[in-house]
Amino acid sequence: MRVFFIGICGTAMGNVAVLLKKTGHEVAGSDAGVYPPMSDVLKEAGIVLFEGFSAEQMLEWQPERVVVGNAVSRGNPQVEKLLTDRSIPFVSLPELIGGDLIGNRPSVVVAGTHGKTTTTALTAFSMTALGLNPGYLIGGVPVDLPAGNELGDQSAPFVIEGDEYDSAFFDKRSKFIHYRPRILILNNLEFDHGDIFRDLQDISRSFSHLLRIVPSNGYVLRNGDDPNLLALPDAPWTQVLSVGTSKTNDLVINNFEEDATGARFELVWRGARVQQINWGMPGLFNARNLAMAVLSSALVQSLGRPEEEILLNPFSGMEEIDYSSCLGVKRRQEVLLDTEPLAVLSDFAHHPTAISGALESLRSRWPDREIIACFEPRSNTAVTNVFQDRFAQSLALADHALIGQVHRADRIPENERINPHEMVKFIEEQGMSANAFLTNHELGSFLFQKVNDSKKQKVLVVFFSNGSFDGVIQNFVRLIEDKKIEGS
């Protein structure tokens, strides 16, 4: 079949296009600004690329099916042609994934407000180590796997992030509804995506719909310490297992410790010790991500056995897997520079809870350093004032907070927009220092000067953004390295 992707250069669209090409389909796609690295990946896979959204070019390629990305909207010339002629069938990307890539394979769907990408990568790593040859689709760049997408064996499990965002302009259901979960991981649940959900109750409703499609021979793995998940409706038609630090959970994260040498904890299954984990990934939140990955992998390898037998000891054969060197995915407390006087990290965190967890972990890992936290309000929720106070509370965990440019501020009414100056005032009332900037480049210049003038012997700079920070991160590291070379 000849399949055409509108908006192909998005990470998810591009990865799925590559996987579809591997299954034997002819694949082409269009986008505004076809550029590396995704354009190189697509060309290497033999995918035809078109710059812009010309309806004529799409029709000349003669597609038999069209996939419409969720960043594509009405007014796009190719979309308007599809709707006018009705001669070529079109689908959303999640619908294509569910039907063509997952199909009847046992699907492990990783859902939740935080940790989806890391947990998906850890689960795929764990299943690969077990020799299951899984398929997977990861919305980031995994460090412990050769790529972010893999077909695997057609009968093997398929691991995928279950995003709650909507599927397409014509399908406002959450993406994860299409992914046919055999095993559903629920990491956590908080309000997010304020552009499509009204409140926590609204987003919880979407998660309750997801619970309803887990089959009777499937499993739900939920964070048993999360009150919002515990408030979801019961799912008596399937087996629900809990993971967390509380002793009431089925899989308990026990004796968690973290310091400059790394993190340590035990996994305990219904009173019986499963494994001791010593690794370099930061924070209790990543310990929970790994616990979910370990349990889901154990259950997948046991599918087909009697349930009573599985639940007695699902971890048979898992003891030999070494997680000590796992690094998860890039841009999750990724160390860009590590010298005696200065360390620089980049982190994808863009929700107050994620930022708090990251800063608490950094305090344990780098106890003797002054921490400067740089935050770019960029996501559709972060640029509004919904979480303004909570962002300020989170950033106050650093010694100094620098708040950058509000992304596309002109598109948000002033009474709904996050106010960095009010955040600065709040942080200073907590006894910490903070500054706000109209542009990210101004922040970068201030930061470089501040680091140069710092009287502290050791400084840690961490950048929080789900975007590029307008190149400030890479430029700051380059300036520091150039200065070091000049001074040597």
Measured CA distances, 163 to 73, 151, 185, 344 (Å) = 19, 20, 12, 29
How many other CB atoms are found less than 10 A from the CB of residue 344?
A: 23
Cα separation, 473 vs 325, whole angstroms? 26
Cα separation, 388 vs 313, whole angstroms? 45
**Token pair recorded at residue 329:** 């995915």
Element (H, E) at 223: strand 219-223
Cis peptide before 157 (omega within 30 of 0): no
What are 329's strand-pairing partners?
A: 142
Contact 228, 246 (CB under 8 A): no
Cα separation, 78 vs 209, whole angstroms? 32
Cα separation, 23 vs 46, whole angstroms? 13
How many other CB atoms are found less than 10 A from the CB of residue 385?
A: 17
pLDDT for position 488: 40
Element (H, E) at 262: strand 262-269
Q: What does residue 124 show for φ and ψ, rounded to 5 degrees?
A: -65, -40
- Residue tagged 């349930």 (tokens): 307
Measured CA distances, 328 to 65, 141, 172, 184, 340 (Å) = 35, 9, 31, 20, 25
| DSSP string of 413-469, one letter each residue | -GGGB--HHHHHHHHHHTT-EEEE-SSHHHHHHHHHHHHHH---S-EEEEEE-SS-G
pLDDT for position 318: 83
User: pTM of the predicted model, to two decimals?
Assistant: 0.89
pLDDT for position 487: 47
pLDDT for position 196: 85
Domains of the chain: 2-88 (3.40.50.720), 95-312 (3.40.1190.10), 334-487 (3.90.190.20)
- Residue tagged 């972010």 (tokens): 148
pLDDT for position 484: 60
CA–chain centroid gap for 356, Å, is 16
One digit per residue, the tens of pLDDT, for the chain of length 488 reads 999 999 998 888 999 999 999 999 999 999 997 777 778 889 999 999 999 999 999 999 999 999 999 999 999 999 999 999 999 999 999 999 999 999 999 999 999 988 899 999 999 999 999 999 999 999 888 888 988 899 999 999 999 999 999 999 999 999 999 999 999 999 999 988 877 888 999 999 999 999 999 999 999 999 999 999 999 999 999 999 999 999 999 999 999 999 989 999 999 999 999 999 999 998 999 999 999 999 999 999 999 888 888 898 899 878 778 999 888 888 788 889 999 899 999 998 889 999 999 999 999 999 999 999 999 999 988 999 999 999 999 999 999 999 999 999 999 999 999 999 999 999 999 999 999 999 999 999 999 999 987 766 799 999 999 888 999 999 999 999 887 655 44
How many other CB atoms are found less than 10 A from the CB of residue 81?
A: 19
